[in-house]
Chains A and B, each alone.
Chain A
Amino acid sequence: MRKLPLRDLLASQGATFRERYGVEVPVSVSDLKKEYGLIRDAVGITDFSFMQKYRVSGDAGVDLLDRLFAGNVAKIRFYRVLHTFLADDQGRLVADAYIANNDEDFIVLCESIADDADLKKLFSFDGQPKTEEAGTAGIDDLTESHVVIGIDGYHAWKVAKDLFGADVLGLPYLSVESYPFEDGSVLLFRAGKTSEFGYLVMAPKEAGPKLMQALLQSAQQHGGGLCGSQIHNELRLEGRFFNIFAEGARVNDPLPLGLQWMIDFDKEAFLGSQAILARREKGYDQKIIGIKADAAVPELKIGDALFYEGQPVASIQATCFSHTLNAHVGLALFPVDMAYAGLRFELGQAGGPAVETISMPPIIPKSLSVKLDEQ
């Protein structure tokens, strides 16, 4: 099992850990409601070093990435980031990825439901470079040599500004920039999946402890603190960001999940494209949409059925409690002809508590009210 470079530092702050796809991940540091409040109202610092990270260089590298990922890597502009996915040859999801065009090279950050070894095999076509691209692309695996730390929240921009200067306020969403830190440099991604402001900082692991301490010190000055990864599952759902570890792992097919926006359908091919295009051509009969149950319902459970006219018609794929709405929210897989907001179903059995389908995202984050160019 891979242990993260900042593990001991996080453990000293009270973090608990669990294994996920061969990596020991920090789950939480305090109670989830507190961590929720840190990010929605202030700023949370989270160790995302569990991500698999690669540096890919050269024209052959671009070609390789383009043949693997669903989005169009060749069209990523300098210093911009593409959010896309990696599928297997059956078109089943393997990784949710940010790919940054960092001028000299491309940086790939993956959240995957494959362990490090299996993902690496996909990257090199099962270990055997079967194409010219795979044979000559320069691929450096940075997974163990680098840390990635997230800055998320209403005040996240203040922490990024404290550490890297006012220049960060001009970074558009899904962009990347290099900044000096200590004696070296770090890469700052403007990205995030909480619907508040978000950044990811990637640095060599040797700089990790100092970077984490500097981020935490700044965050504390702005009312923030350390978070685990579990709260991000809840924030992603509440903000309707795709989560490979929740609905992604369970449904596994990009089409019912509504991930068509991550695909360049005009591209010649990518890993799994034949299978995905065949399913698209045939038409899919299920689709995932948002649901809500009021706080009086004890719990929405993964796998629970939603009933209509005495029959189970949908199944719950992801859930969380929204502290903003004081209600349970979730995602459920419905037949396409029922996958609309504004309908009522019964939870667990005919006559069970009412659950309604809703428009997502169901909350309005505080960050929407902030104009960074006026700060």
Chain B
Amino acid sequence: MDSVMQSTIDKRTAVINPIKAELIKRLNLPYQPEDLHEDISLFGAGLGLDSLDALEVVLTVEHCFGIKIPDNNVSILRSINTLADYVLEQKDRRESEDAKTPAA
């Protein structure tokens, strides 16, 4: 596997793995991390979480990465992969902003 692919995978697993572990812990899900396919729908079909659980999902991301999920953005909360996409996007944004900020 080339370094570009490996780096993409490493970045993604660094987000996905903590999300899975934290969701299992916070929501007391009866699964092992490898049981949770990243595309499973979190609400409705799939894991069947409810609106109270949604808060725990939001807190999971905040706890793991210090990233807040905006209100009313249900599209981010659809699956572990859509959560990971949002986290990766925000991390990239932070990194590019940090790069632009001149050192004190």
Interface residues of A (CB under 8 A from B): 83, 173-174, 193, 240-241, 258, 260-261, 264-266, 280, 283, 287, 289-290, 308-309, 337-338, 340-343, 359-361, 364, 368
Contacts and interface: CB of A to CB of B under 8 A. Distances in A.
Contacts of B44: 173-174
A341 B35 CA distance: 17
Interface stretch (B18-26, B56-64, B75-83, B96-104): B75-83
Nearest to B48: A174
A359 B38 contact: yes
A258 B46 CA distance: 10
Interface string B3-46: 00100110011000000000000000011001111111100111
Contacts of A342: 8, 12
A363 to B, nearest CB: 10
Contacts of B47: 261
A261 B37 CA distance: 9
B2 interface: yes
Contacts of A280: 35
A258 B37 contact: yes
B9 A343 contact: yes
A265 B82 CA distance: 26
Residue of B36, B38, B45, B78 contacting most chain A CB atoms (<10 Å) = B45
B31 A290 contact: no
A132 to B, nearest CB: 28
Contacts of A287: 37
A15 B35 CA distance: 41
Contact of B35 (A173, A260, A340): A260
A97 to B, nearest CB: 13
B40 A258 contact: yes
A343 B8 contact: yes
A260 B37 contact: yes
Given A174-B44, A241-B45, A265-B31, A359 B2 contact: no
B81 to A, nearest CB: 4
B54 to A, nearest CB: 13
Interface string B75-95: 100110110110000000000
A193 B82 CA distance: 19
Contact of B39 (A193, A360, A368): A360
A359 B41 contact: no
B74 interface: yes
B46 A359 contact: no
B75 A368 contact: yes
Given A260-B31, A287-B37, A342-B12, A359 B81 contact: yes
A361 B81 CA distance: 9
Given A265-B30, A342-B8, 11 more contacts: A240-B39, A258-B40, A261-B31, A261-B36, A261-B37, A290-B39, A308-B1, A341-B38, A359-B81, A359-B84, A368-B74
Nearest to B47: A261
B72 to A, nearest CB: 10
